[in-house]
Amino acid sequence: MATLRDIKRKIDAVKKTSQITKAMNMVAAAKLRGAQENMERFRVYAEKFREVIGRLAAGVEQDGTFELMTPREEVKKVELVLLTADRGLCGSFNNNLIVTAERFIDRKQSEGVEVSMTAAGRKGRDYFKRRRYPIRRELTGLLNKPNYDDAFQLGRQLIELFLDGDADEVYVIYSHFRSMVKQEPTVIRLLPIVPEQQDELEGGREYIFEPSHHELLNDLLPNYVYNQLLDCFYMTAVSEHAARMTAMENATNNCKDMVRDLTLTYNKARQASITKELMDIVGGAEALKK
């Protein structure tokens, strides 16, 4: 049986752990608030943007005029952008994303499609690197402070990849933030673009475009890609913080349970040792009497 001192030491250790997890929980909560605010602000812009592009793209013929919107007849190579967190201690968050990526890759490979990966986030990168999976590019630190420049840089490279024929399709796996307790790994196709179709204007009125419809759409499409990426960054960042918050809260609760159990064991052991000592004394006294 563990000695009293051992149990005492264990209790102290668990208490210290719980202090750390509690602090991490609070840090995650603060970061979550900030990230969520940024996400909401960007959402206003992104949604408006989607609307505009949806209207512009409505009725565009799939005749290859807009390469970014034209599906390839034969898909041989796809690029997968996997977003994960740079850090752990956030429950199954990273693992869920990685599993989704693995399933995606398996499915594509079984169809005879080559998949190469852009690993955005340390956890996903480490995982696939350990398994010697070919990684075209690695990026880290994207989710600390999601910003337009990062989305722009990555987006431009992906567009280049697509236009050069090094990728026939580009997918992104990110974590969709549904609620505090639900973050879903989600796969979306980034390229070729499929704009959401928009209802026509009331009364069937048509827009005047300046410059031409063609130029405007060509100008907007790459921006649409950047926006989509930034949206994914924001979502994943918020999800990460939410996941970490939940994980740390659970950890703190587990610590509390452990401390309670250990304290009970400790008291029992203390009681037992006192009883034993008493017995010894009484036994000794009895022996002396005789």
Partner 1 sequence: MNMAEKLLLEIVTPVRKVLSEEVDMVVAPGEMGEFGVLHNHIPFLTKLKVGELRFKVGNATRYVAIMGGYAEVLPDKVTILATAAEEATDIDVIRAQAAKERAERRLREAKDRVEFARAQAALQRALARLKVAEKRG
Residues with catalytic annotation?
90
Q: Is 56 in the site for partner 1 (CB under 8 A)?
A: yes
Centre a 10 Å sphere on the Cβ of residue 273 and count the other Cβ atoms it contains.
12
Among 112, 211, 287, 289, binds partner 1 (CB under 8 A): 211
Q: Is 201 in the site for partner 1 (CB under 8 A)?
A: yes
Among 87, 153, 209, 275, binds partner 1 (CB under 8 A): 209
Q: Is 230 in the site for partner 1 (CB under 8 A)?
A: yes
What is the nearest approach in angstroms of partner 1 to the Cβ of residue 52?
6
Tell me if 97 sits within 8 A of 185, measured CB to CB: yes
Q: Is 219 in the site for partner 1 (CB under 8 A)?
A: yes
If you search the block for the tokens 């594509």, which residue do you land on?
A: 108
Among 18, 28, 42, 224, binds partner 1 (CB under 8 A): 42
Among 61, 63, 164, 206, binds partner 1 (CB under 8 A): 206
What is the nearest approach in angstroms of partner 1 to the Cβ of residue 194?
20
If you search the block for the tokens 């969520």, which residue do you land on?
A: 36
Tell me if 288 sits within 8 A of 22, measured CB to CB: no
Nearest to 72 by CA among 164, 197, 195, 196: 164
Q: Are strands 169-179 and 182-191 parallel, antiparallel or unpaired?
A: antiparallel
**Cα–Cα distances in angstroms (integers) from residue 129 to residues 78, 118, 133, 226, in the given order:** 18, 11, 6, 27
Q: Which is nearer to partner 1, 202 or 286 (CB)?
A: 202
Q: Is 49 in the site for partner 1 (CB under 8 A)?
A: yes
Q: Which residues contact 83 (CB under 8 A, 6 or more apart)?
A: 97, 120, 121, 124, 142, 143, 172, 173, 174, 175, 232, 233, 236
Q: Which residues contact 38 (CB under 8 A, 6 or more apart)?
A: 146, 234
What is the nearest approach in angstroms of partner 1 to the Cβ of residue 48?
6
Which DSSP string corresponds to 125-193? HHHHHHTT--EEEEE-STTTS--HHHHHHHHHHHHHHHHTTS-SEEEEEEEEEEETTEEEEEEEEEES-
Among 24, 28, 115, 220, binds partner 1 (CB under 8 A): 220
What is the nearest approach in angstroms of partner 1 to the Cβ of residue 256?
40
What is the nearest approach in angstroms of partner 1 to the Cβ of residue 216?
6
Total residues in contact with partner 1, by rule CB under 8 A: 25
Q: Which is nearer to partner 1, 103 or 145 (CB)?
A: 145
Q: Which stretch, 45-53, 83-91, 186-194, 264-272, contacts partner 1 (CB under 8 A)?
A: 45-53
Among 9, 16, 33, 41, binds partner 1 (CB under 8 A): 41
Tell me if 123 sits within 8 A of 87, measured CB to CB: yes
Q: Is 216 in the site for partner 1 (CB under 8 A)?
A: yes
How many CA atoms, within 13 angstroms, populate the side-chain half-sphere of residue 220? 23
Q: Is 210 in the site for partner 1 (CB under 8 A)?
A: yes
Contacting positions for partner 1 (CB under 8 A): 38, 41-42, 44-46, 48-49, 52, 55-56, 148, 201, 205-211, 216, 219-220, 227, 230
